[in-house]
Structure 1
Amino acid sequence: MDKEDVVFSPVSEEYLATDFPGHIFAGMFCIIYSLWESTKSILKHLLKKKKYTYGFGSKTLFYRLEILQGIVILSLAATGIIVSLTLSGGHHLPLYEENHWNKLKDWHHVTVYLFIGMIGVAHILCFTISSVPVSLIKLMVSTAFFVETFIFHNHTHSRVLLDIFMHQLVGLISFLNGLVAFIDFLIQDNVLLELLRSSFTLLQGSWFFQIAYVLFPPKGSPIWDLMDYENSRFLTVCFCWHFALTYIIIGANYAFISWLIKFRSKKPCSSEVGLLKNTEHEQELEEM
């Protein structure tokens, strides 16, 4: 979209202040998480389907990766909470003072990150305590996205048109993500559902980037008219482009991992190489 096609209007510096880094961080978190989850789902599916065991298929390796993933998720969630409580300006405690609630918008973000952190805790528990069912992870993922849907449904009261519209789309993605995660929890081991969930998470991440640059543009960037319906119509189309891009990225990831496994399967492992060398040596001895 060309700059001359965008309708601009002045927006207060207070409104633009510090929400840009918060949305960029949330977007990066969703993108990294979705790519990791999709890669893991594709690997498990292809290894199980083709019965490859070339290093990738070790259960111990997958268990360690799951625990590592839980630690990373928990750390990023804690970082998100710190970012929400420190980069938005002003103090956030106490929660209620001088007859009014204190920065509830940021506490919405803290609540979302709290439930994301619970996903990390579930990862750690499920792969360190044998009595905890692994399906707990998918249940917590579903719960986290449903909580995010509820939070974002009540996140945009008394805000401007474009702000409400873009956050409503985040709520829609969160609901679909939670629904797919819950169906995946009931069905189990369905690679299409897992990849669909990853695509929704990737969509949410890319859309957070879009929100950051539209609602909270960096200094020097053009400011969008947040009350213009034409901009809203354009962002409707833009949202669909984001969705199409997620399918392209997930598809490319599937194709790359599939090629990588096939390429690795054609190369003999070290034990096979040793066996071949021993066989050749025995044949040489027999010919002597």
Structure 2
Amino acid sequence: MANFKGHALPGSCFLLLGLCWSVMYPLRHCWRRHQPKARQKLPLFFNRIDLIEGALMIFFAFVGIMAEQFVPDGPHAHLYNRETQSWVKLMNWQHSTMYLFFSIAGVVKVFTMSPLPVPLGLDRLALSLAFFIEGLLFYFHVHMRPPLDTHIHSMLFVPVFGGAAITLLEVFMRDNIVLELLRTSMTILQGSWFFQIGFVLYPLNGVQWDLQAHDNIMFITMCFCWHLAVALLIVGINYWMGWCCVQRCSGRGSDIEIMMRKTSSSKKALLEESDEE
């Protein structure tokens, strides 16, 4: 959709996905670090989160496809108009194609949580492919447009292709916390930048930007760096909060274990005394 809502929808999806990852991955990593090697198996809680993540990806992708196709000015599943001999709303079709590949990634994610013999790393490969397809579509999305419009869309190539490369590395380097957090930062950056594109091209206050001014291009580039800084800050804060949460829970667990040991030792001493009597 060539309006603010059309950019806010994918922005919201990527933001929610990135924020979910920024909480889940630090918790899982910190939990593993505080467990002995004999208890490295993840609890069922984390597997359920992975399953919910895949289901949410499918749901958001379905909502995105429906929104792109069946809005009042959408193509309504018509790709080509034979009467006018022209394509119908190709921009909406490009966005629908992007959502399609993320829905495939969600389906693969759900399958990896099932008893089916799905190869390890296939979910990361499907997600990497979805990011790559998104970047490929946007590369041919902005030709013959004003300079600022082209520039602000081309800035998406950094988190999109970066996310595709990072996720592809995760196929071979599973559960690498650095790669996971970097992918999370790129996803949050994508989400916030979609909102920024909407605010610039379709301002809510009605004041239009000069799409030809070079100063605006310089400001947008600087603004992109600020978005990246905020994304890294969010990931860092959530990592620290996850570490504190695991520390507190592990501290309580150790206290309970000490109390149980003391209780069992006292019971054993009482039994020994009773035997002697």
TM-score by length of 2: 0.88
Matched-pair contact (CA < 8 Å) for 1:81–1:110? yes
Q: Report Cα offsets for 1:5-43 as digits up to 9, x if no partner.
A: xxxxxxxxxxxx862112111111111111212322212
Instruction: Please state if 1:208 is matched with 2:208.
Output: no
Return the offset for 1:87. 3.5
Query: Match for residue 153 of structure 2?
Result: 167
Aligned partner (choices 65, 73, 87) of residue 57 of structure 2: 73
Matched-pair contact (CA < 8 Å) for 2:193–2:227? yes
Query: Match for residue 235 of structure 1?
Result: 220
Matched-pair contact (CA < 8 Å) for 2:121–2:170? no
Aligned partner (choices 88, 105, 119) of residue 133 of structure 1: 119
Equivalent positions of 1:1-288 (< 5 A) are 19-51=3-35, 58-87=42-71, 89-97=73-81, 98-218=84-204, 220-268=205-253, 272=257, 275=260, 278-279=263-264, 282=267
CA separation of 1:72 and 1:47: change in aligned 2, threshold 3 A: same
Return the offset for 1:189. 2.2
CA separation of 1:61 and 1:117: change in aligned 2, threshold 3 A: same
Could you tell me how far apart the structure 2 residues matched to 1:166 and 1:285 are? Answer: 76
Could you tell me how far apart the structure 1 residues matched to 2:170 and 2:178 are? Answer: 9
| SS of structure 1 residue aligned to 2:126 | helix
Return 265-274 or 229-238, whichever deviates more.
265-274
Letter in 1 for 2:237: A
| SS of structure 2 residue aligned to 1:133 | coil
Query: Match for residue 7 of structure 1?
Result: none
Return the offset for 1:281. 7.4
RMSD over aligned CA atoms reads 2.7
Structure 1 unpaired stretches of 5+: 1-16
Could you tell me how far apart the structure 1 residues matched to 2:47 and 2:255 are? Answer: 24
Matched-pair contact (CA < 8 Å) for 1:18–1:88? no
Query: Match for residue 11 of structure 1?
Result: none
| SS of structure 2 residue aligned to 1:131 | coil
Could you tell me how far apart the structure 2 residues matched to 1:198 and 1:217 are? Answer: 28
| SS of structure 1 residue aligned to 2:155 | helix
Return the offset for 1:93. 3.4
Return the offset for 1:110. 0.2
Could you tell me how far apart the structure 2 residues matched to 1:141 and 1:244 are? Answer: 24
CA separation of 1:35 and 1:144: change in aligned 2, threshold 3 A: same
Matched-pair contact (CA < 8 Å) for 2:134–2:160? yes
Could you tell me how far apart the structure 2 residues matched to 1:94 and 1:247 are? Answer: 41
Could you tell me how far apart the structure 2 residues matched to 1:91 and 1:142 are? Answer: 28
Letter in 2 for 1:34: G
Matched-pair contact (CA < 8 Å) for 1:26–1:208? yes
CA separation of 1:49 and 1:123: change in aligned 2, threshold 3 A: same
Structure 2 unpaired stretches of 5+: none
Matched-pair contact (CA < 8 Å) for 1:85–1:106? yes
Could you tell me how far apart the structure 2 residues matched to 1:118 and 1:93 are? Answer: 19
CA separation of 1:136 and 1:255: change in aligned 2, threshold 3 A: same
Return the offset for 1:222. 2.2
Could you tell me how far apart the structure 1 residues matched to 2:178 and 2:97 are? Answer: 30
Return the offset for 1:265. 1.3
Query: Match for residue 6 of structure 1?
Result: none
Return the offset for 1:131. 0.8
Q: How many residues get paired?
A: 270
Matched-pair contact (CA < 8 Å) for 1:23–1:208? yes
